[in-house]
Structure 1
Amino acid sequence: MKLKQTAKAIAAGLILAATSSFASAAPINVGGVVFDPSSIFDFNANGDLFERVITGTGQAAEGFGKITDINKVFGESNFCPTCELTFTFGGFTLVDPNPQALLFTGGFVNFFVQDRSSATFTAYDPTKTLGNAGDGNLWLSLAGHTDTRTGYSAPGTLFGKIDSGLLGSGNERGQGGGLLDVTGGLAAMSLNTNTVIDSAGGRADLNFTTTFLPTQPDAIAAGAPRLNGGATFTGNAIPEPATLLLLGAGLFGIGFGAKRRKQKAA
C-alpha cells in the first residue's frame, strides 16, 4: 500500500513539474479575455474612464470605462479577440473633502465582457452611460478593501488628491488609488489570489490607481460625466507556473524520500 502511494506521489510530481513548463508559456482564456499569467506584467490592465463630479461629503464617486490593454498587450482584438471588456464603479463615498487627502469609504468595481458584434462602447466616448458599460456578462466583481495611508484622516478604500482646480468645479485634476477584493465573476478563480499586502499586513487581490481631469466641453453630452482619465488595475493571476513547479518538486521529493527510506530499511 505504501509503495503504491509513493509511486503515485512521484508520478504526480513528475506530471506537475512537466506541465508547469507548458503552463508558463500558455495564455489563458477567461470568458473570452486572453492573458498570460506568466507575463512579467501580470496582472496589469489599463483603461480609459469617465466619472461624475462630486461636490462634497456624503456623495459617491461613480463612473465607467473600457480596458485598452492587458499585460502590455495593446489592441482589443489581441486580448479580447471577439469581445470588449468594460467596467463600472460606484459607491466610493467621500468622508473627508480635504483636497490634498480626499478620503472615501465603501465602493465597488465591476467588469463586464460582451461580444463585440453587439457592443457599442468605444474607449473614449463621454456620450456613453453606466448602462452601456455595464451590460454583458459579469467578468469580475470587486469590493473596496479598507486600508490606511499616511496623511489621511482615517481608514478608507479610496485615497485621492486634487493637484489643481477645486472639488466640484468640473475643472479639477488629480489622482487616486486603493486596494480591491475579488467577490465574484467569471475571472474570480483566476484573480482571487490575496497577493497584495495592505498597510496592516492584511491581504487584498488587486491594487488600483486612477487619474482624472476635465472632459473637453464640446464632448460633454447632457447628463454625461464631467471628468475623464485613466485607471490601472494590478495584481497576480493564477495558475502560477512557478508554484506548480514547486508543488511538483515537493511531491516528487516526498515520494523519492519515502522510496529511499524504504530501501535503507530493507
Structure 2
Amino acid sequence: MKMKQTLQALACTALLGTAASSMAATVNVGGLDLTTGPTFGVASVYENVVTQPGDTLAGFGEVTQINGVALSTLCDGCELTYTFGGYTVTDIDATSVDFSGGWVNFYLGFDGDNDFNPFASDGSATDFAAASNGALFLTLAGHQIDAAGNTFAGTGANIGTPSAVGFGAGLLDVDYTGMANGNTAGVGALANTFFDTNTVAALFGGNADFQLGASFSNMLQPHPGECPGGPACLAGSVDFRGSVGVIPEPETYALLLAGLGVVGFVARRRRP
C-alpha cells in the first residue's frame, strides 16, 4: 500500500509540475521575452484618412510596452513594429465608420532594423520601410464583430474628414497563411503559435485571439506637410489584448508521459 501511495504521489508531482510550468512561464520568441497568460500591448499608430465606402484604412506603428513593461526591458536593442491594411470601409458618416477585412503584421527588429522614428524621418515611405523590416513576428487577420461581417468599428466626430477624432474597436485572429484580406506577408511568423489561444470571447465565428482598441485624431502628425491626403495624417494609440500560450518542450512531454505511465501502472496494480 505504501509503495502504491508513493507512486501515486510521484505521478501527481509530475503532472502538477507540467501544469504549473504551462500556467506561468517566460518564453523567448526570436529574442523577445513574453510572459504566458493575459497580454496587454500598447502601441503608437499612424494612419490615413478614409472618406467613403470602399476606401482602405492602412498604416503603421510601434509597440512601446507589454503588460506595463517597456519593450527595451523585454529584448536588448530591439523594436517591435507593425503595419496594417486591408480594412475596407463598409459604412461611414460624421460620427461612425465600419470596416470589413483587415490584417496586421508585426516585425521584430534588432541592430540596423531598430530604426523606427517617424518624427526624425524624412517621410511616411521611410516610416513604412522601418516598420516592416526585421523578422516577421506575428500575422493577424480581422475577426467578425457583427452580423454584417464587419471586423472593426469606430465612433467619434468629423469622421471622414482630416479633422476626425474618435475611438475604435475590433477583433483579430492569428493568420498562419499571412495572406488573409489582401495581406502579402506570407507564412513563417515567429510568434503565431504562441498567440493562437482563442481566449477572447466573440459573438461571431468562435473566440478570437486579440481584442483591438484604438484612438485617433489629427494631433501630432509626424509629417504634416503630407496632409491631409497623406498616408499618416491621423495619429493615436492602440492596445492589443490577447494571451500568450506556452509550447511544451520535448522534456516536458517526456515528463508528462512518464507521469501518465506511473498512473497507469498504479491503476493496473490495484485491479483484483
Q: Which category of TM-score, normalised to the shorter sequence, fits these structures?
A: 0.7 to 0.9
| CA shift for structure 1 position 231 | 0.6
Distance 2:256 2:201 in 1: 27
Pair 12,194 (structure 1): closer, same or farther in 2 beyond 3 Å: farther
Counterpart contact for 1:87–1:111, Cα < 8 Å = yes
Deviation larger for 135-144 or 21-30: 21-30
Contact 2:45 2:235 in 1 (8 A): yes
Deviation at 1:18, TM superposition (A): 2.1
> Offset of 1:259 from its aligned partner?
2.0
**Matched AA of 1:87:** Y
Moved more, 76-85 or 115-124: 115-124
* Partner in structure 2 of residue 225 of structure 1: 232
Counterpart in the other structure of 1:207: 211
Residue 122 (structure 1) aligned with residue 120 (structure 2): no
* Structure-1 residue corresponding to 2:186: none
The residue number in structure 2 matching 1:83 is: 78
Partner of 1:3: none
What is the deviation of 1:240? 8.6
Amino acid at match of 2:162: G
Q: Which amino acid aligns with 1:203?
A: N
Deviates more, 1:104-113 or 1:116-125: 116-125
User: How far apart are 1:11 and its partner, in Å?
Assistant: 6.6
Number of residue pairs matched by the alignment: 243
- 1:232 partner letter: D
| Secondary structure of the corresponding residue to residue 90 of structure 1 | strand
Deviation, structure 1 residue 182: 0.3
CA distance in 2, matches of 1:218, 1:183: 30
CA distance in 1, matches of 2:63, 2:170: 18
Identity over aligned pairs, percent: 32
1:12/1:211 CA distance change after superposition, 3 Å: farther
2:249 is aligned with 1:237: no
Q: Helix, strand or coil: the match of 1:196? A: coil
Please say if 1:181 is aligned against 2:173: yes
Structure 1 stretches lacking a partner, 5+ long: 1-6
Secondary structure at the residue paired with 2:149?
Answer: coil
TM-score, normalised to structure 1, is 0.79
> Which letter does structure 2 place at the counterpart of 1:80?
C
How much does 1:15 deviate? 3.2
> Aligned runs of 1:160-175 on 2, under 5 Å?
160-162=154-156, 164=157, 166-175=158-167
Find the aligned partners of 1:169 and 1:250 in 2 and give their Cα distance: 60
- Aligned to 1:46, which of 21, 42, 46? 42
Is the 1:10–1:253 Cα contact (8 Å) retained in structure 2? Answer: no
Q: Is the 8 A contact 1:68 1:123 kept in 2?
A: no
> Hey, what does 2:133 align to over in structure 1?
135
5+ residue gaps, structure 2: 1-6, 177-188
Contact persistence 1:35–1:71 (CA under 8 A): no
Alignment of 1:18-57 (within 5 A): 18-22=17-21, 24=23, 26-38=25-37, 42-57=38-53
Deviation at 1:123, TM superposition (A): 7.1
Matched, 1:93 2:97: no
1:216-243: CA deviation from partner (whole Å, max 9, x where unpaired): 46852434511100111111111299xx
Look up the SS of the partner of 1:189 in the other structure. Answer: helix
C-alpha distance in 1, partners of 2:20/2:68? 22
8 A Cα contact 1:10 1:252, kept in partner:
no
Deviations 1:230-265 (CA, angstroms, capped at 9, x unpaired): 111111111299xxx9xx999958954762563241
Q: Deviations over 1:190-237 (max 9, x none)?
A: 001112121147121111111101134685243451110011111111
Counterpart secondary structure, 1:78: helix
Distance 1:203 1:21 in 2: 24
Match of 1:73 among 69, 72, 89: 69
Contact 1:95–1:105 (8 Å) recurs in 2 = yes
CA-based RMSD: 3.2
The alignment's TM-score, normalised by the length of structure 2, stands at: 0.77
